[in-house]
Amino acid sequence: MRNKLPCSAQTLSQIQPDMIQSVVGPQVFQLGKEYHSANCVEIIEADDDQILSEVTGPFGLYEQTIQLKGGHLLTKCSCTSNEQPFCRHCVAVLLGNPHPGTVVDSAPSVESSASPEAVKPEAVKDEDVVGSPLSVNLHHITALIDWLQRATRALDRGHALPEAPALALGDVMGWIRGIQNLHARWRASEEKRMAAEAELLTRAGQLETLMKELEALPREASQAQTICNGMQHAVANSRKMLSKLGDMAKERDRIEEQLKSTADDLLQQGIELDSLLVSLKEVSSVIQGVGGSAVH
């Protein structure tokens, strides 16, 4: 973020805190003051016309370049803040720059009479504003973030958590202890998790077996259906054969009745023939007797 603001100061060290506050507004000034009080500012190089610095924030390290050139204060910061006319990080740097011990009434100031668009600070989002007083200062937050990064790497590698930073009891230590308690509970459940994974693998093997059996069922069902169809066809043929055998049995019974009737008729005819034969014998005897008498 780059900004350019008219300024009548001759050196950067002549810019006083009250001058900065009158330009950026109380909220941004308070935030920058907290960064400065938390020792988050590192001046890399500084002279009357230029400051090169770094500010450690809760979300990373930001670089600043502040220059006094041609009656203008030029600020540049690597952050993405929309704070105007310059961000809280530049405020912290200007507060950290050495100032003269005595301020005279005629000391130059940052011109608040310049263009309103150049000096009017924009509204700061609620989530960017940290109330004051703070129960957790920026130093604690920075220490917490550094510890969280190391703890995350340790967890990714399966190592133990790093030693907690030496901080006074408060919200940050409460967060750290909460994370430590969660890690202890995670360690305690590791054996259960491994047992659950083993059980899951066993269940997966059983499921695979069942799936193979299930895949074989359609084939077996198809084979069984084919066999069933063949058996139904055989049953149908057997029924046809039984029907034919029934018809043959009826025909046999009819023929037996005819044969029996014929046998009875033949028997009766035989009796009649026997009776006729006896009669013929008697007639023959009579004839023979009559013939013999005639000869004498």
User: Phi-psi region for residue 51, left (φ > 0), alpha (ψ -120 to 50) or beta?
Assistant: beta
- The backbone torsions φ and ψ at residue 76, rounded to the nearest 5 degrees and listed phi first, read -140, 130
51 close to 12: Cβ distance less than 8 angstroms: yes
Residue 86 belongs to a domain: yes
78 close to 62: Cβ distance less than 8 angstroms: yes
Q: Which of 127, 146, 175 is the last residue of a domain?
A: 127
Distances (CA, A) of 227 to 119, 236, 239, 250: 95, 14, 18, 34
Strand blocks (E) in the chain: 2-6, 41-46, 50-57, 60-69, 72-77
pLDDT at 176: 66
The verdict on 8 and 105 lying in the same domain is yes
Distances (CA, A) of 273 to 189, 267, 268, 276: 118, 10, 9, 5
pLDDT at 99: 60
Q: Which domain holds residue 150?
A: 138-188
Domain count, the chain: 2
Residue 223 belongs to a domain: no
Question: Rounded to an integer, what distance in angstroms lies between the CA atom of residue 252 and that of residue 92?
Answer: 126
Positive or negative, the Cα torsion across 94, 98, 103, 108? Answer: negative
Please list, in sequence order, all residues whose beta carbon lies within 8 angstroms of the beta carbon of residue 44, skipping any fewer than 6 positions away.
Answer: 52, 53, 54
Decide: pTM greater than 0.85. no
Q: Which of 127, 147, 171 is the last residue of a domain?
A: 127
The CA-based angle 264-269-270, given to 5 degrees, is: 95
pLDDT at 52: 94
The verdict on 95 and 52 lying in the same domain is yes
pLDDT at 227: 92
Within the chain, which residues score under 50 in pLDDT? 101-136
